Chains A and B, each alone.
Chain A
Amino acid sequence: MDYKSAGISDKEYEKILELLGRAPNDLETSLIGVMWSEHCSYKSTRKLLESFPKSGRHVAQGQGENAGVVDCGSGWGLAFKVESHNHPSAVAPYQGAATGVGGIIRDILAMGARPAVSMDGLFFGLPGSGKSRALASGIVEGVAGYGNAVGVATIGGKTFYDPCFEGNPLLNAFNCGFVRLDRIVSSKTARAGHLAVLLGAKTGRDGIAGASFASRELDQDSRESRPQIQIGDPFEEKLLIECCLELHAKGLIASMQDMGAAGILSSSSEIAHKSGVGIEIFCEKIPLREAMTPQEIFLSESQERMLLIVEPEKFDSVKEMAAHYALECVVIGNIVEGDRYRVFLNGELIADLPHSILGDAPLADWPSAEPEDAPGRGALPQGLKSADLAGDLLRLIGCECGRNKSEIWEQYDCQVQLRTVKGPGGQVSAITVPESDSLVTLSMEAEPWKCRANPFLGAAETMAQSLRIQVVSGAEALGMTNCLNFPSPENPENFFELSECVRGLAMVCEQMECPVVSGNVSLYNETSKGGIYPVPLVVTVGLVPHFAYFVRCGCAEEGDLVYLVGANGGSLGASRWQTICSSPSMTPLGTTVAFDARQEKAFAARALATSRKAVVRGARVIAGGGVAVALAKEALASGVGMRVDFGSCDMLSALFGEGGPRALYFVHSESADKFLSLWDGYPVVLLGRAEGSSLRIGGMREIGLDELRTAHFAGGLL
């Protein structure tokens, strides 16, 4: 077998010869090829990712397992992770998205946690162009179809539109679930003498070598990649969840691993490698849907399968439980002493590798070079002005990114399992913690335009923004997971942007003491038309210690005072206004506000204190579209108008500037003094009041709530 067709470079092949002391046979070559693919090995990014802070006082399980776990108090942990399923969703939107949701749910299940709620990060081309609308509809239906049926609520996410995603939409699937802290499943607990048991669906030809598929650009041949698309069955997964949780509750399994990328191969070799034991797999014992070669069996990404590690005396009980749930359950191998990964076919040894060769892929070292046009991208055009401020505001709350997304999220069951305290459509989502008065808050953020214009500052702003949303809602951040979506790292400019984004995220995490507990990298997001903008997507998890401290959006009442905390006017650089309303259109230019740790900490301390004193009606972090859009959205959500004045200042930045730690607070006049004393030492401006049924901003045409509503609820995204 030609090693190149297994995705192995000349240099890597030399390394294999050196490590193995012989030439690998065909099966071994393809096993190594998949495990050394970008998707499985993170070979291009592993070194970069080392800069993320990993530990913190809330971390119960850090990186290196199927998902991270943070301590939510009262003995409960939250396992969480976000993962991409971009390439499959581009080729087969419904199934690609559905199996993305199914896959991340199994990652959480593998930690011993009951998958509780999901979120989705969606990045689409503009709906009017190309196949974008069809892709978007298919992806949304896939997320809904799988999540709704498997009984896991989808309670929020991020939806973003830009032409760079045309033909290469992104689907990032997040899931989290609760697990007792003393019941976390580890992949380090397999011991010699244990059995390797396959639970769930039969293995078929779907998704063969999907990991390799995800490790190269999408091209005209991608349509022929349909066999590499997995097919999802949420019904089987629901049974798998119930069965695995019951097996775990009864102490019948020593460990478990989900079968995601590179299926049986990846799950079994990882567990052997991490547990420091050898493993023998017997090909002929694996239940198949169709006749398959050993190579196909090992690389198949058939869905809804789990690898269980079971003590021999417990296997009968395991099998009985599986039968109860009508699930197939078969011993496919043994855990043995040593360090070998061995595959047998009818008694014949057909692959024999040290598992370290599968688990420790060599790093790929790509050259990095700052894009030549970086200074141009980072420069905000001179003399920006608006001919019609009110018209611009209507455009911003009506553009694809700013529009109400209920046509998407009304397709998601956001309530099943009865945990949801705040569902989709706001800045933060919130769920109850079992047996406790506290809430877990989730915030998903991404800023492709800001990262395009300046990857370091853009990524820093993304992470800082997610943390601001946490503190304003009253939550202390416990940890973060991220999905790094980028084009090919082999292009030096792309690798530079990737490195800069990681540097930006790492800096903010370090400074704000928010550890990174899990993550995923998706590279080669490009088509013949070009690559996507850099999309480092982050999800932060926060804890509100009592539901009474939870600060919401959309509860302003007639007469409330409207305060802006933070500097008046952010940056127009790569803002929504600059990209959508100024010329050249859809071209993000200029840098966002630089991260300032001192300011952020001052903001966070006051926002948390404000939540604990319960002195405000509600709050909203300044996000896309600036203060103007925040005022408009609050007016729509609470059904009361706003009358505000910015005094004499640059109206354009005051209205539409973005970035930096800033928020609107809506405060009953009787609480004003308390509120101001809490924010002492930080910039605070009284902008005006919530009143009437229109938006009256000094220096701008009055806009009625009905006009705002019509623009915001324009629909037509799917």
Chain B
Amino acid sequence: MRSAVVVFPGSNCDRDVEKALLYMETGPVDMVWHDDAAFPHRPDLVVLPGGFAYGDYLRSGALAAKSRIMGAVRAHAEEGGLVLGICNGFQILAEAGLLPGALLPNASLRFICRPTYLRVENNDTPFTCSFADSEIVQFPIAHHEGLYYLPDDELDRLERNGRVVFRYADRESGDAGEAYSPNGSLRGIAGIINERGNVLGLMPHPERATVQGLIWGMDGKGVWRSLEEHFGAWEGK
């Protein structure tokens, strides 16, 4: 699997995604500058990493959504290529219209950094196929704008189509929903996928739960494992 990690000015999880991919030995990783018009090599996976692209000064992700590389990202998605937006990357995908909805300031109006439990709501995607159905996993969050918002009727449609992929949950009971949102996210939504099933955005950070020996576990490995499985390259690493 060949990955391209987009580096916006102000991205700060770009190196972490690279580190996680290299740690998982998923294949070559290209770091691609926001001002480039195209990817240096045709990627299997494009990752929009976390951080504060362009300082998030206008509105999280708003300026990044207009940067030059986003043309190539959009084209890649339209051809069915896989795109993964993590945290700020999710905000950028929402601003770019590649995913529906908006990420609003956390209900507490504070930045929150802590581990969260998620229930895998759809394991029939290239990003989640190695997880068990309704598996509870621990991924950390670190954001100020993570409250997922979409009008009610559109949320219903999203749910009906199985496009809610991760939902904040209770570790013990396995219950999931708004009561477990650390940020007030509607219906406990932590990650969604587009209609075609090739563009995933999530606020929690799988790359922060990948490398051994660091705080907050390694459940994030499941995402990279799924992708490798999807491309038929996973050899039980």
Chain A positions within 8 Å of B, measured between CB atoms, are 141, 144-145, 148-151, 233-236, 238-239, 324-326, 409-423, 432, 547
- The answer to whether residues A410 and B113 also contact, given A149-B10, A432-B213 and a CB cut-off of 8 A, is yes
Minimum C-beta distance from B103 to chain A (A): 16
- Chain B: residues with Cβ within 8 Å of the partner, total of 32
Asked if B9 CB lies within 8 Å of chain A CBs, one says yes
B52 touches A414 (CB 8 A): no
- The answer to whether residues A235 and B55 also contact, given A148-B111, A410-B112, A416-B16 and a CB cut-off of 8 A, is yes
B110 touches A423 (CB 8 A): no
* Neighbouring B residues of A415 by C-beta, 8 Å: 113, 140, 142, 205, 208, 214-216
* Neighbouring A residues of B50 by C-beta, 8 Å: 416
Contact of A326 (CB < 8 Å), options: B9, B114, B211:
B9
The list of the 5 closest CB pairs from A to B, nearest first, reads A151-B12, A235-B55, A149-B52, A413-B142, A411-B111
B13 touches A235 (CB 8 A): no
B208 touches A411 (CB 8 A): no
* Neighbouring B residues of A150 by C-beta, 8 Å: 12
Nearest chain A residue, comparing its CB with the CB of B144? A148
A422 touches B9 (CB 8 A): no
B111 touches A413 (CB 8 A): yes
- The answer to whether residues A234 and B52 also contact, given A150-B12, A151-B12 and a CB cut-off of 8 A, is yes
A413 touches B52 (CB 8 A): no
Contact of A420 (CB < 8 Å), options: B9, B110, B215:
B215
Minimum C-beta distance from A41 to chain B (A): 35
What's the Cα separation between A236 and B10 when bound, in Å? 8
Interface hits, B186-216 → A, CB 8 Å = 205, 207-208, 211, 213-216
B9 touches A151 (CB 8 A): no
Asked if B54 CB lies within 8 Å of chain A CBs, one says yes
* Neighbouring A residues of B184 by C-beta, 8 Å: none
Interface of A, secondary structure class, is mixed
Minimum C-beta distance from A434 to chain B (A): 11
Q: Which of B111, B112, B113 has the most CB of A within 10 A?
A: B113
B215 touches A421 (CB 8 A): yes
Asked if B43 CB lies within 8 Å of chain A CBs, one says no
Interface hits, B97-135 → A, CB 8 Å = 110-114
A238 touches B19 (CB 8 A): no
What's the Cα separation between A415 and B214 when bound, in Å? 9
- The answer to whether residues A239 and B215 also contact, given A144-B111, A416-B142, A417-B16 and a CB cut-off of 8 A, is no
Can you list 27 A-B pairs with a CB-CB distance of less than 8 A? Answer: A149-B12, A149-B52, A149-B56, A151-B13, A235-B9, A235-B10, A235-B52, A236-B55, A238-B9, A325-B9, A410-B112, A410-B113, A411-B113, A412-B113, A413-B111, A414-B113, A414-B215, A415-B140, A415-B142, A415-B205, A416-B16, A417-B15, A418-B16, A418-B207, A418-B211, A421-B213, A421-B215
* Neighbouring A residues of B142 by C-beta, 8 Å: 148, 413, 415-416
* Neighbouring A residues of B205 by C-beta, 8 Å: 415
B9 touches A416 (CB 8 A): no
Asked if B51 CB lies within 8 Å of chain A CBs, one says yes
- The answer to whether residues A149 and B215 also contact, given A238-B9, A410-B113 and a CB cut-off of 8 A, is no
What's the Cα separation between A219 and B205 when bound, in Å? 46
What's the Cα separation between A419 and B16 when bound, in Å? 10
Contact of A432 (CB < 8 Å), options: B113, B140, B144, B214:
B214
* Neighbouring B residues of A409 by C-beta, 8 Å: 113
* Neighbouring B residues of A151 by C-beta, 8 Å: 12-13, 51
* Neighbouring A residues of B33 by C-beta, 8 Å: 324
- The answer to whether residues A419 and B214 also contact, given A148-B142, A235-B57 and a CB cut-off of 8 A, is yes
Minimum C-beta distance from A397 to chain B (A): 21
Interface hits, B1-55 → A, CB 8 Å = 9-10, 12-13, 15-16, 19-20, 33, 50-52, 54-55
- Beyond A412-B111, A415-B208, 11 extra complex contacts between A and B, CB < 8 Å: A234-B52, A235-B52, A238-B10, A238-B12, A239-B9, A239-B10, A413-B113, A414-B215, A416-B12, A421-B214, A423-B215
